[in-house]
Amino acid sequence: MMKKMSIVLSLLLFFNTAFVLGEGSLSPRQGFVEGYFLQYEIIWVDAKGEAVNVPAEIWQDPAGTQVEDTPLMRDILERIYKEKKLAGEELSKKVMGDLGYVQQIKTVIEGYGGEIYSLPMIANPQLLIDTRPVQRTDFQPGMEVYAELQGRSIRYMDAFSADLPGYIPPGGKVRVGQIKKIDRDQIQVVLPTGTQETYFTSPATIVLKNKVNVSTNVLYEGDRVKLYFDEIDTPYISRLEVEGNSILIKDLYRGTLMVANGLEDKITLENVEVFRNGSWTSLSTGIRVPYNSDLPLYIGGQKIDYRNLKHYRGKRVYLAMKDFFGQEKVEKMVIQSQYERTFSDRIEDINWYSSQMELANKKNISFHEGTMVIKNGRLVDIDVLTTQSDGFFVADGRGGGLVADVISIYNEGLNNSNIGQEQIYAGRLDKVLRDTVVLRDFFLLDQNEWVSFAEDKEFFYDDDTFVYDLENNQVIPTKEFYSGEYSIDERGTSYTKPRDWYAYAYTDGDRIASIFVKKSSDSLRRQRTTTGVVENNPAENPYMGWAISVRDAKDFSSRHGQWMPRNSSLSLFLKEAMIIKNGKRVEIQEIKAGDRLYLVRDDSMTKIVVVK
């Protein structure tokens, strides 16, 4: 039996934006959010500018305190998650933005990213305008301010008057959006307003993903990013934060629409199937999932209003699913208009003027703004499509009049964009010097297949290079690598038993990040490149060592020059595998279920694994 109790929560709505502060613990119903804060001071600012308290009901059961599942509460909690201000973390120690107002009990600041902060001040805060001490009443609404916090209260705040227009503290300008295009150091970003802006990276740009410092090579078209700038008018990014795996499309579903609840933004589906290993596989007789009504909805190439979704009961729908904090959520939805046709083929030509593409099988398919395009596990714009792209196409129509509802691109390279210079080499160790390695008669993995070169190639290594001896199964310090017998001595002396050692090298340009060496060479002609998604965490096989299962695998066919989907999961062994993540060699345990992989394998024996 649930015991009801009533508290007053308050919500600050300012320029149609919500934000919440408080302390304690809060766990909403249905596991929607966990680890949040009770004792909120929530105020509704109405159209007249008057503050009104907003009551909300909560109740308690043996599992803990829970929040009533209403659209208002879901909006509050989702915004908290989106801003990541209270998700088990401390509020940022710095707040920057435009001043809303200053009162005796609180100060309201609108951040550059649109978030709203309602913060009290400590007893005697340090307040400056133009570097001069002032009183809190001297601050005017609209001023750009920089505040430092002590706990959840302002201990320091400064601003500049009109005498210093455009000044912001370092990292004070913030932009949030989705990457549309990457071209070397240029990044085109679509902002929440729909406008497109082009920004630039530099050697000084800091890139963070999951709070780890990474290189710009990790960026994909379709990634959601937060950009920080040190100057108000500069296009050069000082810090770039990449959203983690929550951006990834977890699965592609199709099912029959039964119920569309516009109040809760949830739909109920029957006969649900998931796209697995190249075909539709039955998943469930029925599911109920939330959807994003902010995104456009299409049927047969025509945009429709979400309020009319309920009228399409019995229609087949295609859903791009995301994992939203442990819950499945529809990120994009397309309604089938007539009859389904599917193709696994290559794009031969694209006519952007008529919005049509021609496949290798000579089928012509139209596309539109609502076509769901998935590439590298992300939803991307239709204009990322290129000729010679391999993919899975779900077309809608009859006869020759086909419209693309879903396009899933197979193509995946070692580098995520043309920013990257990462390469994989194999060859004979001709020289190993103090900081230099020379490969003779080497091979380069180019366009997903090995290409041979009858010449020498010089590389550099350093103390951070990972060196592994596959013969003795041990890590080799770089000093021992140089002094060891890993290459034939060409300086006038010889070893007792001269021998050729061979190597796989993962490089960033000409710098070796990781190199695995062995006495004999492998047959590279037997090897192939494969992409796929990890089905389960690595498990240890008593006979073959660590192993993984990969679903939705595609092999690159040198004969056909294209990616070929497999119709079953793939079991792979990692006994001798070089595992790379974020440009560095990592342990096997770094591979997790759901990771996307690019790998080089000889049948079931994996040689190189790159976690994408």
pLDDT tens-digit profile of 515-574?
Answer: 999 998 899 999 999 999 999 999 988 888 899 999 999 999 988 889 999 999 999 999
pLDDT band at residue 71 under the 50/70/90 scheme: low
User: What is the C-alpha separation between 395 and 392, in angstroms, rounded?
Assistant: 10
Residue 221 has pLDDT above 80, yes or no: yes
Residue 85 has pLDDT above 60, yes or no: no
Structure-token pair, residue 94: 């710095």
Mean pLDDT of the chain: 81
What DSSP designation does 28 have?
-
pLDDT at 245 (0 to 100): 72
pLDDT at 295 (0 to 100): 78
Percentage with pLDDT > 90 across the chain = 47
pLDDT at 366 (0 to 100): 95
What 3-state class would DSSP assign to 549?
A: strand
Structure-token pair, residue 241: 């934060």
Structure-token pair, residue 483: 């002094």
pLDDT at 324 (0 to 100): 72
Judge whether 115 and 14 are in contact, CB under 8 Å: no
Mean pLDDT along residues 107-123:
83
User: What is the C-alpha separation between 572 and 20, in angstroms, rounded?
Assistant: 48
CA nearest to 120, candidates 227, 254, 22, 250 = 22
Going through 399-453 in order, the beta strands assigned E by DSSP cover 401-409, 422-432, 436-446, 449-452
What 3-state class would DSSP assign to 589?
A: helix
pLDDT at 581 (0 to 100): 93
Q: What is the pLDDT of residues 124-142, one digit of tens each?
A: 899 988 778 888 888 888 8
Percentage with pLDDT > 70 across the chain = 81
pLDDT band at residue 7 under the 50/70/90 scheme: very low
Region of residue 325 (phi > 0: left; psi between -120 and 50: alpha; otherwise: beta): left
Residue 418 has pLDDT above 90, yes or no: no
Mean pLDDT along residues 498-508:
88
The residue with tokens 């920013």 is 419
Judge whether 404 and 395 are in contact, CB under 8 Å: yes
Among 127-141, 195-209, 480-494, which is the least confidently predicted range?
480-494
The DSSP secondary structure of 137-180, one letter per residue, reads GG--TT-EEEEEEETTEEEEEEE--TTSTT---TT-EEEEEEEE
* H-type alpha helices, 462-537: 478-483
Q: What is the pLDDT of residues 357-386, one digit of tens each?
A: 999 999 999 999 899 999 999 998 888 899
CA nearest to 462, candidates 476, 474, 478 = 478
